[in-house]
């Protein structure tokens, strides 16, 4: 029964969305147990395109990314992410994946008009920290469309009227 109530609330809230699509993004990156790996590198670049009115999946962009600075994945990284070395070997590097993503945005008709989409992330790490720091390390610009997003954690705190405690 609670699911029906949630669906009714969800549908009424979705009708007023200013975005046509939500692009749900969740990078995976190189990592090490008990220490920061510097620089960390994106090794998985998944994006799911959801229709904001129906919340149905319409398309997926997914690429594994070959790390440059730390080409060998640690055992901890594989345990944490489920990504094994074979999945990133011989894959495109981040620069090429960003170009492929840009082409996907064009193919999906997500460029050229305002408020077509918003990225949705679980936290700010993906787009505030990870992508900008890796682009800086590689000497490439962060594409403009990655500079704003919806942090679903913050939205849930607002909806549930909770305060965040570290």
- Going along the chain from its start, the domains and CATH numbers come out as 2-160 (3.30.420.10)
Helices 131-138 and 94-107 sit at what angle, rounded to 10 degrees? 120
Report the pLDDT averaged over residues 99-115: 91
> What per-residue confidence (pLDDT) applies to 12?
53
Q: How confident is the model at residue 3 (pLDDT cuts 50, 70, 90)?
A: very low
Share of the chain above pLDDT 90, in %: 74
Report how far residue 68's alpha carbon sits from residue 135's, in angstroms, rounded to the nearest whole number.
12
Of 82-86, 105-109, 159-163, the least confident = 159-163
CB-based contact 37:30 (threshold 8 Å)? yes
In this prediction the pTM is 0.85
| Per-residue model confidence as pLDDT tens digits over 4-62 | 444 544 555 555 678 999 999 999 999 999 888 899 999 999 999 999 999 999 999 99
CB-based contact 90:118 (threshold 8 Å)? no
Whether 86 shows a pLDDT value over 70: the answer reads yes
CB-based contact 122:152 (threshold 8 Å)? yes
Backbone angles phi, psi at 53, to 5 degrees: -85, -35
């Amino acid at each position: 029964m609670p699911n029906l109530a949630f669906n009714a609330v969800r549908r009424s809230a979705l009708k007023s969305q200013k975005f046509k699509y939500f692009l749900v993004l969740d990078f995976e990156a190189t990592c090490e147990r008990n220490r920061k790996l510097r620089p960390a590198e994106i090794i998985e670049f998944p994006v799911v395109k959801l229709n904001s009115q129906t919340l149905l999946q319409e398309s997926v962009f997914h690429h594994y990314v070959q790390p440059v600075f730390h080409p060998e994945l640690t055992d901890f990284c594989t345990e944490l992410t489920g990504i094994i070395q074979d999945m990133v070997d011989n894959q495109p590097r981040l620069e090429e994946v960003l170009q492929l993503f840009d082409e996907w945005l064009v193919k999906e008709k997500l460029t050229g008009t305002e408020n077509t989409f918003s990225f949705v992330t679980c936290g700010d790490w993906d787009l505030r920290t990870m992508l900008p720091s890796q682009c800086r390390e590689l000497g490439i610009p962060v594409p403009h469309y990655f500079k704003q997003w919806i942090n679903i954690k913050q939205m849930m705190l607002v909806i549930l009227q909770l305060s965040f405690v570290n």
